[in-house]
Structure 1
Amino acid sequence: MQDLDGKVAIVTGAGSGVGRATAIALAKAGCAVILAGTTQSRLQEVGAVIAEAGGRAVPLTCDVRDEDAFVRMHNLALDRFGRIDIVMNNAAAISIGYPEDIPLEEWQRVFDINLMAIVRSNHVFLPHFLAQASGHLINVASADGLYGFGYDRLPYATSKAAVVQLSEGLALYLKPRGIGVTCFCPGPVATNIGDHMMAFGRPLDVRGAGEAVTMIEAAEAAEIILSAMREGHFLAVTSQHILDRSRERMADMDRFIDQQIKHPHTLFAAETAQQILTWG
């Protein structure tokens, strides 16, 4: 989808971070944007930024865990703008803790937001895209979903691996039907996601994707996403190192796991993590 001017996009998790930055970038490129999220004040701020720049955006306060959230997005987009061209599934939840310390209900919460929300989205928007034989899905996964580098956030990493597989299957099905799919697998991005992290058990080191995978700003992530969409690319990453490590993993998984155990990369140590997060 090279020409974004006049298109209509729906972005979940649009109130902050990558969702906010991508919504603003889409509006700058000429899209009208439905801003979906849970915090009304943040959505209104993003909408004001877009409006001040001459763009079009409508905030919608909703929870992607609700059955009717995506129906509301769908109906609002058609009522206000008459079409839907892009759906970005970006809402996310992260839990930190040793595997034995994270309760079952937290696994269920994370999967409900990170994975099942995309399933709900597909249930509403795939028939629409298939009927018009056009559109583009953007599913935000993570480098965590491509290769293992930590055991400190297994619900998040496992759900993001599922998002990668779901996105790949959708690409196989939808690309021949004129519908694009982009799966975004970033390394660390400077956002306020730490405000929403849940922490359980004893404080622990939070591991990263590797020393060469440096943190980028949300605006940079948004440009990577738009570039991948315009060029019709399935996989979008924030660092070549993510691809290199993924290839190493598949070439010899036993060796890769042993290396990760022997040479872990700490994103921030337990003492810092304890200052950032409130442990349950």
Structure 2
Amino acid sequence: MTRIAGAVAIVTGAANGIGRATADSLARRGARLVLADIDAARLEEAAGAIRAAGGQALAIPLDLSEPDAFDRLRERTWAEYGTVDIVMNNVGVLVSGLPQDIPLAEWERIINLNLMGVVRSIHRFLPDLLAKGSGHIVNTASFAGLFPYAFDRLPYAATKGAIVTMTEGLALYLEPRGIGVTLLCPGPVRTAIGNTMRSFTEGLPLRGPGPQFAFREAGEVGEMVADAIASNRFFLPTDDLVRPLLAERGADMEAFLRAQAMAMAP
């Protein structure tokens, strides 16, 4: 269990959506925040709102796809607070298109940011947490990484599936060493992620995980994340209705895939 009050929490992708909502939730519980995002104006607005409410927040505008971005993030964090306790890896971008239409360069861009951004963060901050023997890591994946439906944004789904596997492995290693791990898997959530989405197939509708999943608000998800950190919860879907689907998939993967294909056929 990680004590949030007084903890130093780094949140990437903190200018909008789930990242900002989680930063707000952690700040209300007494954490000292370090916010990172490429959107400098919105990032400072997020940090300013936390400070105006009586909290502590440092805004660090960064392009987290750059190789040394996490070196600079760690350096600024330690200079300001002298430690780190919570790391939330939440940066993610979308691309839309049929598999044959998405350029190789887009695959490389999505993998570099969505997946390698998490890898670089873990590489930079995990030694600090291991040295302390405490702390918590939150990695944001997606329903798209849990079961097949998002063939219209395959690079995104592939990176989120990799984050699921990586985070499970981290939990196996870190839980016995006193470090908590949370795998956040959002279903439909009202965020601005679609505003920067590049599309490569004209007229292609964006497929959701299923009609049973209602949209959640980002603020609700932020509270879920803070609760998961406080209670050391590993698997955090934003809607528990996903659990029966995962059980069905696990019982017969081939039948599940065929059913999904039939449901999504034009």
TM-score range, shorter chain: over 0.9
Deviation at 1:202, TM superposition (A): 2.7
After superposition, what is the alpha-carbon deviation per residue over 1:12-41, rounded to whole angstroms, capped at 9, x for unaligned? Answer: 100001001111111111011111000110
- Looking at structure 2, the residues matched to 203 and 125 of structure 1 have their Cα atoms a distance apart, in angstroms, of 42
Deviation at 1:2, TM superposition (A): 4.5
Give me the identity figure in percent.
45
Report the secondary structure of 2:169's partner residue.
helix
After superposition, what is the alpha-carbon deviation per residue over 1:73-128, rounded to whole angstroms, capped at 9, x for unaligned? Answer: 11211111121000000000111000100011101100111100111011110111
After superposition, what is the alpha-carbon deviation per residue over 1:130-150, rounded to whole angstroms, capped at 9, x for unaligned? Answer: 111111000000010000113
Paired letter, 1:105: A
Report the secondary structure of 2:151's partner residue.
coil
- Looking at structure 2, the residues matched to 5 and 231 of structure 1 have their Cα atoms a distance apart, in angstroms, of 14
Contact kept, 8 Å, 2:2 with 2:180, in 1: the verdict is no
Question: RMSD value over aligned CA atoms?
Answer: 1.3
Contact kept, 8 Å, 1:167 with 1:181, in 2: the verdict is yes
Contact kept, 8 Å, 1:209 with 1:242, in 2: the verdict is no
- 1:253 corresponds in structure 2 to 253
In the alignment, does 2:192 pair up with 1:187? Answer: no
- 1:113 corresponds in structure 2 to 113
Paired letter, 1:19: G
TM-score for the superposition, normalised by structure 2:
0.97
Q: Provide runs of 4+ in structure 1 moved above 6 Å.
A: none
- Looking at structure 1, the residues matched to 249 and 27 of structure 2 have their Cα atoms a distance apart, in angstroms, of 38
In the alignment, does 2:137 pair up with 1:137? Answer: yes
Deviation at 1:72, TM superposition (A): 1.4
Contact kept, 8 Å, 1:208 with 1:265, in 2: the verdict is no
Deviation at 1:265, TM superposition (A): 10
- 2:63 corresponds in structure 1 to 63
Deviation at 1:246, TM superposition (A): 1.2
- 2:242 corresponds in structure 1 to 242
Equivalent residues in 2 for 1:22-61 (5 A)?
A: 22-61=22-61
Equivalent residues in 2 for 1:52-201 (5 A)?
A: 52-201=52-201
TM-score for the superposition, normalised by structure 1:
0.92
Segment of structure 1 superposing worse, 239-248 or 169-178: 239-248
Cα 1:42/1:260, change in 2 over 3 Å: same
- Looking at structure 2, the residues matched to 185 and 232 of structure 1 have their Cα atoms a distance apart, in angstroms, of 15
- Looking at structure 2, the residues matched to 26 and 225 of structure 1 have their Cα atoms a distance apart, in angstroms, of 9
Report the secondary structure of 1:138's partner residue.
strand
After superposition, what is the alpha-carbon deviation per residue over 1:41-86, rounded to whole angstroms, capped at 9, x for unaligned? Answer: 0011001110111000010011111122111111211111121000
